[in-house]
């Protein structure tokens, strides 16, 4: 197998795919965002609990490939406890990373860094960004 | 049929993808094009590009002859009675939409029924959904058997005097099932309904005889049968087309234009508003010549061998789920599958690294995916240029995929 593939399917990605963090649905007065990728059938339901401009909790449910589901798991892990502003900033960095644009490499991305290899597989970028788009949509709506 | 000779006409196949020789197994999405078709397009553009049906000049006449000559080739290809029954469209989608928007709107009333199946492509679902919504008709689905086939008894039960339209695919793009169109058409006609056929996955692979099938409408696309993208065909019985209104209005399709009213050209041109897809039609004509010379019977027999071989080899892989009938006699040349717990996108990505192109996703058939209880599947589809060796590479790639993911899990 090519090393490109190993770059795509890093151990940490497979770990998130197999053992997703924050899987489930938040009840009560949480925000619910449903999003799908119409070209392939991947779908995600993201629930967010936001208080005082802060993401208190985030959970996801969905169906999809290893990249979309691991990305959702990592995203929920990364934004819990962050301010809306910081969560959206992170989303921008992630988007730049996927598009191969420059981004501030001093920021600690944690597990998310493992998704860097996806940028080399243009057909899979939409898989990785699905959960992030859902998060952006939810938080931007909440800001309004 | 000599596959090595056939392959020599498809220069695109002779390349490496990701360091491996290309194995193209996605012809159900779009087929590759032989040099004969590309040369026909080039000749048209280099030697006689001109608008049709209007120019007095020589090039205009040549272009008109080329365009209308292609129509005659299509007529012969599907054994229509007359070229008046052959309308060039953008593809199958436009063909089916034209039937729904023109024939459907004029003939379907509240309380009427439209019957389709669970195995339809979105292009043979949504036009009918829209028609049902607009007219107050009911859309009904024919159920599928365990192996994905349709029972004629179910057709007889569901089609009744309220049914105005029955629309069924000739070959399923997911299950590979070949439907008994002739028998379904007979039942539809007994109840006064018209029979519409989605021929997108059939026209490239098998002889279609519209008179023998006795279907009322048929749509298919050139790009799946060695022709260019952007052109397809709507066949319709003349007496039905004659009573239908055009859905696009403008140049080319008019007889006489007055300030407040206009009249239409005769068939088939009243349905071809605007400058038509001239190069596309000429390319489709060249594709038909190419397929006819090789012989559709030979192509079908070749694909049947490949399907049987693929079913045998793929079934032997542990953890493989194959959708649709396992009997190769009941299916066309494609195999839809899932392997172990690996998501089809991941399967397609790993195969792509091996140079193997397959389709992954819902194949524009979400209701069928629901019926299969699969959110997505992978599909390998075969055409005249594929070989047993391609299938061996696919199977080896699938075993590698499985191993790769069992390592990381």
The domain made up of B38-292 has a fold known as 3.40.640
Q: How far is A14 from chain B (nearest CA, A)?
A: 6
What interhelical angle do B278-294 and B58-78 show, nearest 10? 40
Cβ contacts (< 8 Å) between B376 and chain A: which residues?
A: 40-42, 63, 65
pLDDT of residue A57: 96
Read off the pLDDT band of A106 (50, 70, 90): confident
Nearest to B9 by CA among B38, B49, B46, B40: B38
Cβ contacts (< 8 Å) between A1 and chain B: which residues?
A: 350, 353, 400, 404
Give chain B's mean pLDDT: 96
Count of domains forming chain A: 1
Tens-digit pLDDT profile for residues B288-315: 999 999 999 999 999 999 999 999 999 9
Q: Are strands A31-37 and A42-51 parallel, antiparallel or unpaired?
A: antiparallel
From B361, B375, B404, residue closest to A39, measured CB to CB: B361
As a whole number of angstroms, the distance between CA B195 and CA B189 comes to: 7
Tens-digit pLDDT profile for residues B249-259: 998 899 999 99
Domain boundaries, chain B: 3-32+296-408, 38-292
The residue with greater pLDDT, B232 or B403, is: B232
pLDDT of residue B406: 81
- The residue range of the domain holding A31 is 3-143
Q: Is 90 exceeded by the pLDDT of residue B54?
A: no
Q: Is B409 in contact with A41 (Cβ distance < 8 A)?
A: no
Q: Are B19 and A2 in contact (CB under 8 A)?
A: yes
The ipTM, to two decimals, is: 0.84
* Percentage of chain B exceeding pLDDT 90: 94
Phi/psi region, residue B364 (left: phi>0; alpha: psi -120 to 50; beta: rest), is: left
pLDDT of residue A104: 83
As a whole number of angstroms, the distance between CA A41 and CA A39 comes to: 6
From A18, A39, A65, residue closest to B343, measured CB to CB: A65
Q: Is 90 exceeded by the pLDDT of residue B404?
A: no
- Residue B379 near chain A (CB below 8 Å): no
Q: Is 90 exceeded by the pLDDT of residue B97?
A: yes
pLDDT of residue A5: 85
Q: Is B350 in contact with A124 (Cβ distance < 8 A)?
A: no
Of B109-118, B172-181, B219-228, B252-261, give the lowest mean pLDDT range: B252-261
- Residue A120 near chain B (CB below 8 Å): no
Tens-digit pLDDT profile for residues A115-124: 999 998 998 9
Q: Is 80 exceeded by the pLDDT of residue A1?
A: no
pLDDT of residue A2: 55
Question: Span A111-115, mean pLDDT?
Answer: 93
The residue with greater pLDDT, B238 or A27, is: B238
- Residue B406 near chain A (CB below 8 Å): no
pLDDT of residue B408: 57
Q: Is A40 in contact with B362 (Cβ distance < 8 A)?
A: yes
As a whole number of angstroms, the distance between CA B332 and CA B174 comes to: 10
Question: Span B26-49, mean pLDDT?
Answer: 98
As a whole number of angstroms, the distance between CA B175 and CA B66 comes to: 37
Which tokens belong to B76?
A: 């012969």
pLDDT of residue A4: 79
Nearest to B147 by CA among B327, B381, B298: B327
Domain B3-32+296-408 class in CATH? alpha beta
* Percentage of chain A exceeding pLDDT 70: 98
Q: How far is A142 from chain B (nearest CA, A)?
A: 30
Which tokens belong to B59?
A: 């090039």
> How many CB contacts within 8 angstroms connect chain A with chain B?
60
Q: Is 80 exceeded by the pLDDT of residue B1?
A: yes
Residue A7: give its domain's CATH number: 3.90.1010.10
Cβ contacts (< 8 Å) between A127 and chain B: which residues?
A: 345
pLDDT of residue B269: 96
pLDDT of residue B407: 65
- Answer positive or negative: Cα dihedral of A25, A26, A27, A32: negative
Question: Model's pTM, two decimal places?
Answer: 0.93
Q: Give catalytic status of residue B215 as yes or no.
A: no
Tens-digit pLDDT profile for residues B119-153: 999 999 999 999 999 999 999 999 999 999 999 99
From B18, B353, B361, residue closest to A41, measured CB to CB: B361
pLDDT of residue B204: 98
């Amino acid at each position: 197998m090519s090393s490109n593939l190993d770059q795509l399917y890093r151990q940490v990605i497979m770990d998130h795919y197999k053992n997703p963090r924050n899987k489930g649905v938040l009840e009560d007065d949480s925000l619910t965002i449903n999003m799908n990728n119409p070209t392939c059938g991947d779908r995600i339901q993201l629930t967010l609990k936001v208080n005082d401009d802060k993401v208190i909790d985030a959970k996801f449910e969905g169906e999809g490939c290893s990249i979309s589901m691991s990305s959702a798991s990592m995203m929920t892990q990364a934004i819990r406890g962050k301010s809306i502003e910081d969560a959206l900033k992170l989303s921008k960095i992630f988007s730049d990373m996927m598009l191969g644009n420059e981004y501030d490499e001093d920021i600690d991305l944690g597990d998310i860094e493992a998704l860097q290899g996806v940028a080399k597989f243009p057909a899979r970028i939409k898989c990785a960004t699905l959960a992030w788009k859902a998060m952006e949509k939810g938080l931007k709506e909440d800001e309004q | 049929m000599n596959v090595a000779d056939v392959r020599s006409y498809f220069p695109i196949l002779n390349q490496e993808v990701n360091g491996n020789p290309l194995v193209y197994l996605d012809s159900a999405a779009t087929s590759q094009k032989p040099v004969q078709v590309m040369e026909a397009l080039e000749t048209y553009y280099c030697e006689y590009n001109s608008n049709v049906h209007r120019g007095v000049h020589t090039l205009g006449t040549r272009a008109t002859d080329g365009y209308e000559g292609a129509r005659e080739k299509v007529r012969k290809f599907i054994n229509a009675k007359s070229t008046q029954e052959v309308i060039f469209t953008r593809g199958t989608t436009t063909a089916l939409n034209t039937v729904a928007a023109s024939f459907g709107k004029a003939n379907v009333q509240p309380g009427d029924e439209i019957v389709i199946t669970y195995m339809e492509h979105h292009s043979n679902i949504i036009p009918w959904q829209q028609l049902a919504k607009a007219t107050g008709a009911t859309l009904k689905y024919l159920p599928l058997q365990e192996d994905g086939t349709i029972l004629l008894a179910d057709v007889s039960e569901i089609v009744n005097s309220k049914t105005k339209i029955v629309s069924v695919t000739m070959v399923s793009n997911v299950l590979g099932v070949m439907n008994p169109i002739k028998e379904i058409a007979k039942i539809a006609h007994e109840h006064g309904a018209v029979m519409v056929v989605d021929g997108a996955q059939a026209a490239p692979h098998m002889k279609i005889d519209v008179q023998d099938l006795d279907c009322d409408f048929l749509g298919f696309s050139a790009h799946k049968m060695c022709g260019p993208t952007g052109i397809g065909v709507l066949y319709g019985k003349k007496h039905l087309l004659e009573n239908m209104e055009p859905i696009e209005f403008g140049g080319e399709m008019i007889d006489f234009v007055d300030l407040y009213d206009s009249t239409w050209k005769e068939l088939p041109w009243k349905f071809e508003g605007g400058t038509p897809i001239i190069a596309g039609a000429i390319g489709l004509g060249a594709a038909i010549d190419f397929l006819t010379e090789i012989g559709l019977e030979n192509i079908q027999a070749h694909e049947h061998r490949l399907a049987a071989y693929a079913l045998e080899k793929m079934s032997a892989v542990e953890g493989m789920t194959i959708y649709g009938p396992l009997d190769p006699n009941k299916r066309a040349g494609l195999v839809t599958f899932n392997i172990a717990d690996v998501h089809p996108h991941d399967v397609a990505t790993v195969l792509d690294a091996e140079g193997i192109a397959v389709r992954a996703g819902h194949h524009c058939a979400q209701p069928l995916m629901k019926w299969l209880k699969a959110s997505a599947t992978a599909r390998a589809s075969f055409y005249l240029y594929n070989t047993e060796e391609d299938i061996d590479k696919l199977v080896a790639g699938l075993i590698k995929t499985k191993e790769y993911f069992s390592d990381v899990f």
